[in-house]
Amino acid sequence: MKEKLITEFLGTFFLYSIIGLTAVLGGAGNMAPLAIGVGLAALIFASGHRSKAHFNPAVTLAFLTSKNQPTKEFIPYIITACLAAVSAAYCVQFIQPEAIAEIKLSALGLQHKDDFQLIPALISEFLFTFALVWVILNVAVAKGTQGNGFYGLAIGFTVAAGAYSVGSISGASFNPAVNIGLFIHQVIDLKILITYSLIQLLAGFSAALIFKCIEHKEAESCSIES
C-alpha cells in the first residue's frame, strides 16, 4: 500500500500546486481551468495504473461505496490527500509569499466577496462533484469501458468544464482536499470548508449509488427501484 500512498501524495500535491499557482494566485488568468484540467489528466495518466489516482476524498468515498476500494485503504487515502494538499498549499505560499498575502475570497473567479452566495455555491459544488464522480466511475471501473485509454482526459476535461461553469459561483473545488488548500490560502473560511466538504462527499456518495444501481441493472434489479 505504501506505493499507492506515495503515488496519491505526489498526484494530489501537484494537483493542488497547479490549482494554487494558476487559479488562486491567478497566474493563468482565464486559462486556469484548462491548465488544471490538462494537468489533472496528465497526473491521472501517470498514476492511475498504480493507485487509481483519486487525489480526492469524495472520489475515495465513491470507490468505497461502489465496492471498488478495500475498506482498509479508505482512511489512509483520505489522510494522504489532505496532507498532500496542505504541503502543496504551504509550498505555493513559500514560493509566492506576496501574492498569497493579497488573496482572500477574490480568488478562483470570485471577484468580489459580496458576489458570494452560499446556496448557489453549494448547488454548484454538488452538481459538478456529482458529474466528476459519475464520469470517474464510468471511465475507471465500469465494465463497458474496460481497457480504455481516455480515462485521464475524461476526468481532467470534466474538471475543466466544471471550473469554467461554476468557477465564478463557488470557486470550483469539487474536492475536500482542495478545500483545505483553499482554506490555507484564505480563499474560503472554515464554515465554507466544512459545508463544501459535506456537500462534495454527499455528491460523491450519490453518484456512486446511481452508478452502482445502473451498472447492476444489466444483471439484476436494483434496490432503489424495487
Interactions with its own copies, residue window 2-21 (CB under 8 A)? 2-3, 6-7, 10, 14, 17-18, 21
Residue 42, exposed/middle/buried by CB under 10 A (0-12, 13-18, 19+)? middle
Residues for the chain: how many in total?
Answer: 226
Out of 112, 113, 225, 226, which residue is the one contacting its own copies (CB under 8 A)? 225
In whole angstroms, how close is the CB of 152 to its own copies at the nearest point?
A: 6
Q: Is 162 in the site for its own copies (CB under 8 A)?
A: yes
Out of 84, 108, 153, 192, the only residue in the binding site for its own copies (CB under 8 A) is 153
* Binding residues for its own copies restricted to 87-106, rule: CB under 8 A: 91, 94-96
Give, as ranges, the residues between 103 and 122 that touch its own copies (CB under 8 A): 109, 120
Binder of its own copies out of 12, 47, 60, 175 (CB under 8 A): 47
Judged by CB under 8 A, how many residues of this single chain contact its own copies? 73
Q: Which is closer to its own copies, CB of 21 or CB of 64?
A: 21
Q: What whole-number distance in Å separates Cα of residue 8 and Cα of residue 175?
A: 14
User: Counting contacts by CB under 8 A, is residue 158 touching its own copies?
Assistant: yes
Could you give the CA distance from residue 219 to residue 200 in angstroms, rounded to a whole number?
A: 30
Q: Which residues contact 116 (CB under 8 A, 6 or more apart)?
A: 105, 110
Q: Does 194 interact with its own copies (rule: CB under 8 A)? A: no
| 96 touches 21 (CB < 8 A) | yes
- Assign 173 to helix, strand or coil: coil
Q: Please, where are the H alpha helices in 29-103?
A: 32-51, 57-65, 74-95, 97-102
